Structure 1
């Protein structure tokens, strides 16, 4: 009879996320995982498979959290554009709080695509869910008269998704948070068809738990 596991798999996955996030996939050796997770090689293989399988499970857990935030952070109350501006500001602030490591999902895309099919499928699903959430919010903005008539909700969602992903890459070279803020201000002024930025609905953009 196999012995029952004496460790919390979810807690182990959270520690694996932080290690892969900090070092990247290729630079993380099995010895690093043994030291960080506090498990022997045989226990890691038995519970999670090889390094790649563990990485996929860690990335899946990370993306599931991000998808859950997008599904619950936007609602029908308050200005649609301001609410979306606040959400994106919080996402970028949360990743900035993690220092030079940046965004785990963006890092994974940059390092492993297009050659890793499993990671590609995870990334494509997450990006698609984000685009759908942004599109729904911009459809509400259009109904409420907030969205410029020159921009469709779908094209606006594509613009925001590309902007956020690009900001994550650029700030590895230029971590000044003012750049991200200026980019969001410009994008939302464009979406609103105004010369002045759209104010986020939150009184203060704060860095929450890492989700980007």
Structure 2
């Protein structure tokens, strides 16, 4: 029987998340992991498997945490669209403040897909969770007459998820927060119900005597 582990496996995973998030998968070496985690190679292999398996476990932990945060943040009964905008702003700000390296999920998708099936499955599940959560909120907005009838709640949710993912990529090249804010302003303006234009009946033309 092997000796019981004397370290907190979940705490070690949290440290692995930050390392992979900061450096990326390919650039992170086993030496980096040994130094960052404070464990020998043998302990890492015994507890988590190889580098790829450790990365998948770390990414899965990060995505579960993000889903829990999103689920909690959306638990609000106030006006939907302003609340959604606030939640997205907070998610973007949290990722920017954590490592300065952007979103761990988006970075992983960009680096490892389409060839890594395990990462692809984690990413699909996470994106679907976010889209479903947004759809539920936007259905409430539609019922209240706040969502533009030009778009369905499901399509609006897909647009929100896609826009947020795109912003995570583009702001790595241009981190100016006003650009992301302007983009979201435009998107939520399009999603919001606008008064129908007033139509007037033209005056009949008078025959020229």
TM-score w.r.t. the length of structure 2 is: 0.91
CA apart distance, 1:86 = 0.8
Instruction: Work out the CA distance in 2 between the residues paired with 1:90 and 1:189.
Output: 19
Deviation string, structure 1 residues 29-77 (Cα, Å, up to 9, x no partner): 0000000000000000000000000000000000000111122211351
Shift of 1:123: 0.1
Q: 3-state SS of the aligned residue for 2:75?
A: coil
Q: Which residue in 2 is equivalent to 1:210?
A: none
Structure 2 distance, partners of 1:180, 1:90, is: 12
> Structure 1: how far apart are the matches of 2:172 and 2:154?
28
Retained in 1: the 8 A contact 2:135–2:153? Answer: yes
Q: 1:194 to 1:98 in 2, by over 3 A?
A: farther
1:109 matches 2:76: no
1:146 is matched with: 146
- Cα deviation per residue 1:173-201 (whole Å; 9 max; x = unaligned)? 10001111111111111100349xxxxxx
| Partner Cα separation in structure 1 for residue 77 and residue 193 of structure 2 | 22
Q: CA deviation at 1:100?
A: 3.5
Tell me whether 1:41 sits opposite 2:41 in the alignment: yes
Greater RCO, CA 8 A, separation 6+? 1
**Closer/same/farther in 2, CA of residues 76 and 33 from structure 1, 3 Å limit:** closer
1:75 aligned onto 2:71: no
- Give aligned pairs, total: 195
Q: Runs in 1 of length 4+ with deviation above 4 angstroms?
A: none
Separation (CA, whole Å) in 2 of partners of 1:180 and 1:5: 45
2:14 corresponds in structure 1 to 14
Distance 1:163 1:153 in 2: 15
Partners of 1:76 and 1:98 in 2: CA distance = 25
How far apart are the structure 2 equivalents of 1:67 and 1:86?
16
Structure 1 unaligned segments of length 5 or more: list them: 196-212
Q: Gapped runs of 5+ residues in structure 2?
A: 196-209
Alignment partners' CA distance in 1, 2:178 and 2:99 = 15
Q: Deviations along 1:107-153, whole A, 9 cap, x unmatched?
A: 00000000000000000000000000011110000011110111110
